[in-house]
């Protein structure tokens, strides 16, 4: 396991704050109230470990399958339904939504190989990620992948905690399945809008692994 590049600055700042807080605690508190100093140490250490863990990048055997749409994120499947597309597409689509808790791996991956036909950032609200309107009203970044004349849309959606969406893709770019598309910091959601004839391979409550689990085939 390694640390994702998006975490270098955050981890460095957190480590410095951990050191400063505990040095001050040692010099000004430990001699008079040692139990408080220990509580501060354990609490700040736990927070630092959590932050490091959040940016982890585990080694995995990614799935490369020409007819498959791979999970773009770790998390829990919370929505599988037919919806009217509200961006880029004008037809009806199957929406599959994956909720990402702060404990999940947060790197996002390309669900298919192909060309980036559309990549657009949208400002918005910070509703909780499982709110039905978060898909259309929250801050988000939408990407359309085109492969063999077929297209799918992936939305990286901010939530009540997630305040930064990172996306690496540009229109016209050729990408490979399971490679990195971006990163969402501190918990959120990813939506896929798939063609109606796509065969879904997951169900509500499933916990897919980004780059590994087959969400659908087409």
DSSP label of 31: T
Beta bridge partners of 108: 182
Catalytic one among 25, 119, 142, 188?
188
Beta bridge partners of 154: 143, 192
Three-state SS at 126: coil
Question: Pick from 27, 31, 175: which is nearest to 114 by CA?
Answer: 175
Three-state SS at 105: coil
Q: How far is CA 153 from CA 38, 95, 114, 117, in A?
A: 49, 9, 12, 10
Interatomic CA distance for residues 92 and 146, integer angstroms? 17
Q: How far is CA 21 from CA 6, 26, 28, 40, 142, in A?
A: 24, 9, 11, 8, 40
Our answer to whether residue 30 is catalytic in this structure is no
DSSP label of 9: H
114: left (phi over 0), alpha (psi -120 to 50) or beta: left
Which positions are annotated as active-site residues? 188
């Amino acid at each position: 396991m390694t640390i994702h590049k998006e975490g270098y600055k955050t981890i460095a700042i957190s480590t410095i704050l951990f050191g400063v807080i505990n040095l001050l605690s040692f010099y000004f508190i430990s001699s008079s109230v040692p139990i408080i100093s220990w509580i501060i140490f354990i609490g700040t250490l736990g927070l630092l470990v959590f932050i490091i863990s959040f940016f982890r990048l585990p080694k995995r055997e990614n799935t490369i399958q020409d007819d498959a749409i791979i999970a773009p994120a770790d998390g829990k499947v919370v929505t599988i339904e037919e919806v009217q597309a509200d961006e880029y597409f004008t037809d009806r689509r199957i929406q599959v939504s994956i909720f990402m808790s702060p404990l999940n791996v947060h790197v996002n991956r390309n669900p298919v190989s192909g060309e980036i036909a559309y990549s657009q950032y949208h400002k918005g609200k910070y509703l909780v990620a499982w709110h039905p309107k978060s898909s259309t009203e929250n801050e988000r970044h939408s990407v359309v992948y085109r492969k063999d004349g077929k297209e799918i849309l992936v939305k990286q959606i901010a939530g009540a905690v997630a305040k930064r969406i990172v996306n690496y893709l540009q229109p016209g770019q050729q990408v490979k399945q399971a490679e990195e598309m971006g990163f969402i910091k501190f918990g959120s959601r990813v939506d896929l809008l798939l063609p109606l004839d796509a065969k879904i391979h997951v169900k509500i409550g499933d916990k897919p692994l980004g780059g590994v689990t087959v969400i659908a085939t087409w």
